[in-house]
Structure 1
Amino acid sequence: MNMRRMKSVALLIAIFMITGLLFGCADNAGNDGEDNGNITTKQYDVVVLGAGAAGLAAAIEAAEGGASVALLEKLPVTGGSTILSGGIVYGTGSKLHEAAGVEDSVDDLVSYWTERADGKNDPAYLQFVAERSGETIDWLVDMGVEFGAPAPTGISPVARAVTSPEHGGGIIRPMEEYAKSKNVEILLQTEATELLKDENGAVSGVKAVDKDGNELIVESKAVVIATGGFDRSVELVKEYAPQADGHLSFAGQGNEGDGLLMAKEMGANVLSNGGVIGFRAVEGEVAYTTDVCMLMWMPYLYVNKDGNRFVNESIDYPIFYEELIKQPEQVGYLIFDGNTYMEALDKAVEKGSAFKAATLEELAVAAGIDAEQFQATVDNYNEMIANGEDTQFGKNVTGHPAIAKGDFYAVKVIPAILGTMTGIETNLDAEVLDAAGEPIKGLYAAGEVANGNFYNKVYPASGTSIQMCLTFGRVAGSNAASLAE
């Protein structure tokens, strides 16, 4: 991971959010509308809400289908959670996979996703995305997105994940430029507040508010909701994902569940198994790309407040999260010593995110860990390293040094989330369904706001969410354009 580049992306977004700089806004929409005092009315064939991966994909496909398209984004920049991500897309059968000689199949990918959801996701959705996953990656490449060679993510050894060297921005920026080249009108700092419907109950546009508080009516023949998850909504997390209540979110700032709520007001059904994209963070850090927060990835000994080891420290991050939240006070301590010292440790101590001591006993007292059990755990861990086998959790300990040399450090690690796994129910045409399973005419949804069919409780592999966002975003945009003809 290129930490410097990720820091730059995070800083750029922060600057835009603070200063309110715009790369486009409602005033530059280009589709002349009627101005009635502080209310402006505009007309488009298709309106897309949310300019992350799903929204951009929908806007592009709708525009290529011949529709006039407005893309509304309430933040000052496009990208949603994707631009904050590592830029990974999971799939099979793309030209990149073929060139790398990856031995895989759609059926194997579906089997993996099914296994990771304990069979509690919708097989039709898995099959649908898996069959199109390679084509979606090729579509991005044709648009100018660059990827490295496929590599494994999750717990499967199959090399399915392709990663942009520019991370999330390497996906979003080419998509944004391509959307603009197709005359998609991107209205930044423009927040949709309500879906509109006609006398027959079909969706006919949205109400929105621009950065100056002026009301905007956007009339359309179809609306695509692609507003992301609800990580930033305390109320919705408590309602749909209570296990994550109070957990730090590294998702996009706009993930407040507004699209979900607007769809519910239209009668949309919601699917939820209570899952989240579980992650972790060093306490006190607000971005996982800082040098202090990056300490959490080191595969050394983790203990809980009772001094007990509780997980294979090298396990995939969503599984680690599931174990972390079971621990006392939902806290883990990552242990370093003189053999594994890193400069960021001293910064963590200065910030109060880590503890430092000359002995293990003093470290336990400082961190609030049971000292006697902690010493026993370290002794057992060192013995397993000496024997070359982790008989407790099966971690590969080859090359790991014993915890024996002062000074000693304990970094405090807490749960965090990258996204939610609850969504508006849709069919394979990305149409939003009501409680009776009937499509709400003119309303489509894609991405994290509509992922309830895809997961159970534990996220299967990095890049899965972006793949799903892109694939169903494309379907939503194409079908919305067809409806608008």
Structure 2
Amino acid sequence: MNTDLLVIGGGMAGLSAALEAAQLGATVMLLEKQPELGGSSAMSGGCLAFAGTDLQSRCGVDDSDSLLFSDLREVGGFENDEALVRAYVDHQLDTYRWLCGNGVVFGKGIETSSGQSVPRVHSVDPADAIRQLAAACARTGKVTVHLNARAQRLLRDADGRFCGVLSMLNGQSREIHARRGVVLTSGGFCRNAEMVHRFAPQYDEAVFIGGEGNVGDGLRMAMEFGADLRDMAYIKGTYGKHPLDETNHHSCLAVYKGAIAVNQDGKRFVDESISYKLLGDAAIRQPYGATFQILDQRIMDSGDDSVRILDFQRRHQEGLFIEADSLAELARKIEVPEAVLQQTVDQYNTDVDAGQDSVFGRASLVHHHGRPCRIEQAPFYAYPSTAAVFGTYCGIRVTPKMEVVNVFDEALPGLFAAGEVVGGFHGAAYMTGTALGKATVFGRIAARSALKGEARHA
């Protein structure tokens, strides 16, 4: 079986790579080992981080490439690859417009979340976004999608160039050859407990949420040929997952609207404005990994039902928030010391009035955006919160052209990668919207880079 470009994985990154290549005139074969497209992308919160968009302009938000770049570098603790961050920033606005032009519908509002100095959460229905990209691929007439097709081993030609894959297709082992190369968009490995333990044993007992196929297939296939890895030390859980809620796969981030986070002793344990990956690290270190987000009615009313991580009302209707008319009653309900919780909130309110958090130095609602607010308007609410691993945010090292790089800093010819399988972009933490954002931005770059390379006959 022959094609121009072979894409392994049918989430946002794979579909973006396939569609970009097809629109440039190439034939594409996309392999997805699950029975349907989407993977973790379809299960996500549907947030993408873009700067300088028409949506931001309509909402009165002043954003820029330079601010996005500085935010990404800062939230990543400057551990991220500056060249990858620059590649994202340079292509993100065009990619936003490209998504709009291919049927992806963004919500009318815009919010601020983890790592953002200004509102830049552009929201989509993630499952619908996947459907729109798949439909756009189909309209080109150049993309062939194979479901239940698991890639097993990469293939190289006599010159050492990657030229295809050995795959299980229709129950048979088949070689698929690609003239322009192979793009790995196979996701992370949050469903592979052994691999998670190897790189992040502190999360052995964490909740893991992600596509069933996310077991590290692409990572292993690339590692066989010496692919280098990035950010493996920075696997982190995301804060805000209700420990008993098996219906909602997404975090609830009331802290970014003004809530505080307390542990079972009723005490704050962190600056709540930092990246929710760092919040996750802090939460997992608390007794039993159990914490609560504490908020009042004003904060409850400030939620946004168009953004899943800020949809407080729906979670309230589902009974996930614990409500009380006083802080003392709330403390009894969540079984923390009444006097301690009251003292914690009183101290926080005093610090808000003084303009300085004397305990953890919180100076904003989220990153550098928004001012902390008092928690004082009854009724009061608590949202039980732990850390959940939604994605691994690390993986194969690539160049800004999405070429896979080996441990000797050499590009592996004909092999490209994009999406969650890629490391080096996030660094030590994470900005909301950059997982789906990098999937589509980097998927497009990978396709263009592959098509610019030398074509080989299969």
The TM-score bracket by the shorter chain reads: 0.7 to 0.9
What is the CA–CA distance in structure 2 between the aligned matches of 1:220 and 1:191, rounded to whole Å? 16
What does residue 175 of structure 2 align with? 217
Task: Indicate conservation of the 8 Å contact 2:12/2:41, yes or no.
Answer: yes
What is the CA–CA distance in structure 1 between the aligned matches of 2:440 and 2:327, rounded to whole Å? 51
Question: Once the 2 structures are TM-superposed, how far is the Cα of residue 384 of structure 1 from its aligned partner?
Answer: 4.9
Map of 1:36-115 to 2, 5 A cutoff? 42-97=1-56, 102-115=61-74
Partner residue of 1:479 out of 434, 438, 449:
449
Matched, 1:455 2:414: no
1:87 to 1:315, Cα distance in 2 relative to 1, 3 A: same
1:288 to 1:299, Cα distance in 2 relative to 1, 3 A: farther
What is the CA–CA distance in structure 2 between the aligned matches of 1:375 and 1:427, rounded to whole Å? 55
Matched, 1:426 2:386: no
What is the CA–CA distance in structure 1 between the aligned matches of 2:382 and 2:120, rounded to whole Å? 35
Partner-residue secondary structure (3-state), 2:233: strand
1:181 to 1:383, Cα distance in 2 relative to 1, 3 A: same
Question: Once the 2 structures are TM-superposed, how far is the Cα of residue 152 of structure 1 from its aligned partner?
Answer: 2.8
Task: Give the residue type in structure 2 aligned to 1:176.
Answer: A
Partner-residue secondary structure (3-state), 1:420: coil
Question: Once the 2 structures are TM-superposed, how far is the Cα of residue 237 of structure 1 from its aligned partner?
Answer: 1.2
1:479 to 1:55, Cα distance in 2 relative to 1, 3 A: same
Task: Give the residue type in structure 1 aligned to 2:433.
Answer: G
What is the CA–CA distance in structure 1 between the aligned matches of 2:5 and 2:313, rounded to whole Å? 52
Matched, 1:468 2:438: yes
Task: Indicate conservation of the 8 Å contact 1:385/1:401, yes or no.
Answer: no
Question: Once the 2 structures are TM-superposed, how far is the Cα of residue 155 of structure 1 from its aligned partner?
Answer: 4.1
Partner-residue secondary structure (3-state), 1:215: strand
Task: Indicate conservation of the 8 Å contact 2:297/2:378, yes or no.
Answer: no
Matched, 1:440 2:412: yes
What is the CA–CA distance in structure 1 between the aligned matches of 2:235 and 2:249, rounded to whole Å? 20
Task: Give the residue type in structure 2 aligned to 1:56.
Answer: L
What is the CA–CA distance in structure 2 between the aligned matches of 1:97 and 1:162, rounded to whole Å? 9
Higher relative contact order (CA 8 A, sep 6+): 2
Task: Indicate conservation of the 8 Å contact 2:322/2:330, yes or no.
Answer: no
What is the CA–CA distance in structure 2 between the aligned matches of 1:170 and 1:233, rounded to whole Å? 27
Map of 1:360-371 to 2, 5 A cutoff? 369=336, 371=337
What does residue 339 of structure 2 align with? 375
What is the CA–CA distance in structure 2 between the aligned matches of 1:106 and 1:239, rounded to whole Å? 37
Partner residue of 2:155 out of 196, 206, 212:
196
Give the TM-score normalised by structure 2.
Answer: 0.81
Deviations 1:86-145 (A, max 9, x none): 322212234444555543332221111111122221211111110111001011011111
What does residue 266 of structure 2 align with? 307
Deviations 1:414-463 (A, max 9, x none): 2102211211111122111111111111111111101x22122211x211
Task: Indicate conservation of the 8 Å contact 1:205/1:223, yes or no.
Answer: yes
Task: Give the residue type in structure 1 aligned to 2:173.
Answer: E
Partner-residue secondary structure (3-state), 2:77: coil
What is the CA–CA distance in structure 2 between the aligned matches of 1:91 and 1:449, rounded to whole Å? 21
1:299 to 1:101, Cα distance in 2 relative to 1, 3 A: closer
What does residue 9 of structure 1 align with? none
Matched, 1:135 2:94: yes
What is the CA–CA distance in structure 1 between the aligned matches of 2:187 and 2:80, rounded to whole Å? 19
Question: Once the 2 structures are TM-superposed, how far is the Cα of residue 273 of structure 1 from its aligned partner?
Answer: 4.4
What is the CA–CA distance in structure 1 between the aligned matches of 2:297 and 2:90, rounded to whole Å? 50
What does residue 162 of structure 1 align with? 122
Task: Indicate conservation of the 8 Å contact 2:267/2:344, yes or no.
Answer: no
What is the CA–CA distance in structure 1 between the aligned matches of 2:149 and 2:235, rounded to whole Å? 27
What is the CA–CA distance in structure 1 between the aligned matches of 2:327 and 2:429, rounded to whole Å? 38
Task: Indicate conservation of the 8 Å contact 1:309/1:377, yes or no.
Answer: no
What does residue 171 of structure 1 align with? 129
Structure 1: state its 5+ residue gaps. Answer: 1-41
Structure 2: state its 5+ residue gaps. Answer: 301-311, 366-371
What is the CA–CA distance in structure 1 between the aligned matches of 2:237 and 2:41, rounded to whole Å? 16
What is the CA–CA distance in structure 2 between the aligned matches of 1:359 and 1:425, rounded to whole Å? 49
What is the CA–CA distance in structure 1 between the aligned matches of 2:196 and 2:382, rounded to whole Å? 30
Partner-residue secondary structure (3-state), 2:221: helix
1:100 to 1:120, Cα distance in 2 relative to 1, 3 A: same
Question: Once the 2 structures are TM-superposed, how far is the Cα of residue 66 of structure 1 from its aligned partner?
Answer: 2.4
1:337 to 1:267, Cα distance in 2 relative to 1, 3 A: closer
What is the CA–CA distance in structure 2 between the aligned matches of 1:438 and 1:412, rounded to whole Å? 47
Question: Once the 2 structures are TM-superposed, how far is the Cα of residue 326 of structure 1 from its aligned partner?
Answer: 2.3
What does residue 13 of structure 1 align with? none
Task: Give the residue type in structure 2 aligned to 1:215.
Answer: S
What is the CA–CA distance in structure 2 between the aligned matches of 1:94 and 1:270, rounded to whole Å? 33
Task: Give the residue type in structure 2 aligned to 1:55.
Answer: G
Task: Indicate conservation of the 8 Å contact 2:296/2:377, yes or no.
Answer: no
1:288 to 1:311, Cα distance in 2 relative to 1, 3 A: farther
Partner-residue secondary structure (3-state), 1:44: strand
Map of 1:393-404 to 2, 5 A cutoff? 394=362, 396-398=372-374, 400-401=376-377
Question: Once the 2 structures are TM-superposed, how far is the Cα of residue 360 of structure 1 from its aligned partner?
Answer: 5.6
What is the CA–CA distance in structure 2 between the aligned matches of 1:70 and 1:413, rounded to whole Å? 42
What is the CA–CA distance in structure 2 between the aligned matches of 1:471 and 1:48, rounded to whole Å? 15
Give the TM-score normalised by structure 1.
Answer: 0.77
